[in-house]
Structure 1
Amino acid sequence: MRGVSVDADEDATLDGQTRRGTTTQKSFGRRALGWLSEGAIIVIGALIISTLLRSFVAQMFLIPSGSMENTLQVNDRVLVAKFGGFQRGDVVVFEDPGDWLGPSQVTENPIRVGLEFIGVLPNSATEHLIKRVIGMPGDHVKSAGDGAPVTVNGVALDETSYLYSEGGVQVAPANIPFDIIVPADRIFVMGDHRNQSADSRCRLTNVNAGEAPGMAAFVPVDKVVGASVAIVSPLDRISTFTVPATFAAVPDPEQPAPADPEIREASPGC
C-alpha cells in the first residue's frame, strides 16, 4: 500500500511538472508570436509612411552626370520636394519628356528596387533629368550666342554664381543664338554646365509627331517631380538650394503664354 502511494505521488508530481512545462512553453510561444506581430506591424507601418512620404512629400535622386556641375556633382544625392511648386531659378527633377535620354538602364537587383521604391535609397533609374528652370510659361528667353548672356523678359541674367567653372574659367551662358516664347504649361530648362548639357536650347529645331515645331524643347509642367531642396550626401557636400538673386529682377511676361512655342531664332543642336 505504501509503495503504491509513493508511485501515485511521483506520478502526480511529474504530471504537474509536465503541465507547468507545457504551460511555460505555450506562454513563451505566445509572447514570441506577440513580439513578431508587433515587429511586423512596426515594419509595415514604417514602409507605409516611407512610401507616402516618397509619393507626396519628398524623394531622393542620385546624380548620374556632370550636366549640372559645379552645382551638382556625379553621385550627389539630392532631396526633391514634391509640394510647394517651383519657380524660375529652381533646380528641378523631371521625367524624360520624350527622347531626351537613351534607353533606360533600370537596376535588376530586387532588393535595391524595393529600397528605392520606399525611399530608403535614392532613385537611380535613368528616366529622370535634373536642370535649372530658366523660363516659365509665357517667358521670352533669348541669347545672341557667342558668350552673350541669357535674357528673360528683357532682363539679362547674371549667372556667374552657378555656371560651371574650372581653373578660374567659366563656361559661356550660351554659345548658340536662340529667341523663343515658352508655351503654356511648359518650361525652358538649362544645365549649369552649358558645355555638357543637352537641354532645351539644343532641341528647338526638333519636331515630334503631332506637336508644333520646337515643342520637344520644352518640359511639360506635369512631368516635373519637384524642386531640389538639399544635397544630402556625401557628407562633405551637404547643402541647401536657394534661388539665385538674379532671377528676382525678372518681371512676369506681358502677354499670356501661347499654346504653341514661338521659335523666333534657333540653331540645331548645341
Structure 2
Amino acid sequence: MSALAVPVGTRAGSLSRAGRRRPSRGMTWALASLLVLGLVLALRTWVVTPFQVVSDSMAPTLPEGSTVLVDRLTLRWDGPGYQELVLFDSPDGPVVKRVVGLPGDTVRIYDAVLHVNGTPVEEPYVDLRTLDGVFFGPVEVGAGEVFVLGDNRFDSIDSRTYGPIALEAVTGRVISP
C-alpha cells in the first residue's frame, strides 16, 4: 500500500485530484447563497414582481393595499387581451387597470355602460349603481395602444384621462389578484 504525499500544512483529503485545494464547506455555502440570491433577484426583476395597489380605483377586484404578482415576461410574446389586468407606467407612476379596448376598437361609455365597437360589454366587477348617467367617448384605440379603465369607475384615473396607453408603457400582466 502506498502512502499519500500531502504538502506540509494541509490535511489529507483536502486536495482535489488535480492537486488544487477544495473550497471549504463555508465557502461553498456562501457561493451557493449568492447564486440563489442572484437568481431570485433576476426572477423578481424580469419575470414576476410583487406590486402593491395604492388606490381604490380597482375595487372591489383589488382593494387598496392589495398585493398582486405581476408577470413581466409573457407580454413580450403575447400582448394583453380584453379584461386582463395590466401594470403600466402612467404619468402618475405605475398603476394597475383593466384592458377594455385593443388596437382598432372604438370605446365609449353610454349611460354608465361600456360599449366596445358598438356592443355593450358585461362587466360584473363594476357597480353600475354608482355610475348612473356617465357618458364618455367615443374614442378610437390606435395601433400599438390599449384602452384601460379602473373597475371603480367613479374613483379611477384611467384612459378617460390619459387617453389610450402605448403598449410599450405596459410593463406586466397581473397573475394573482
TM-score category (smaller protein): 0.7 to 0.9
- Please tell me whether residue 162 in structure 1 is matched to residue 116 in structure 2: no
Partner of 1:227: 173
Q: CA deviation at 1:192?
A: 0.3
- Asked if the contact 2:51/2:67 (under 8 Å) is kept, the reply is yes
Contact 2:145 2:167 (C-alpha < 8 Å) held by counterparts:
yes
5+ residue gaps, structure 2, are: 1-8, 15-22
Residue 4 of structure 2 corresponds to: none
Structure with higher strand content = 2
Alignment size in residue pairs: 155
Aligned counterparts, 1:53-132, within 5 A = 53-85=43-75, 86-96=80-90, 98=91, 101=92, 127-132=93-98
For the pair shown, which has the larger CA radius of gyration, 1 or 2? 1
Hey, what's the Cα distance between the residues in 2 that align with 1:170 and 1:44?
54
1:1-270 aligned at under 5 Å gives the runs: 34-85=24-75, 86-96=80-90, 98=91, 101=92, 127-144=93-110, 146-147=111-112, 149-159=113-123, 161-163=124-126, 165=127, 170-172=129-131, 175-203=134-162, 217-231=163-177
Name stretches of at least 5 consecutive residues in structure 1 with no aligned partner. Answer: 1-21, 28-32, 102-126, 204-216, 232-270
Shift of 1:190: 0.5
Pairwise CA distance, 1:91: 0.5
Instruction: Give 1 or 2: higher helix fraction.
Output: 1
TM-superposition CA deviations, 1:86-140 (whole Å, max 9, x none) = 20110101112x3xx1xxxxxxxxxxxxxxxxxxxxxxxxx21100001111111
RMSD after superposition: 2.3
Runs of 4+ with >4 A deviation = none
Structure 2 CA distance for aligned equivalents of residues 40 and 23 of structure 1 = 22
Q: 1:106 aligns to what?
A: none
Question: Percent same amino acid at aligned positions?
Answer: 29
| Structure 1 pair 174–226 and aligned structure 2 pair: CA distance change class (3 A) | farther
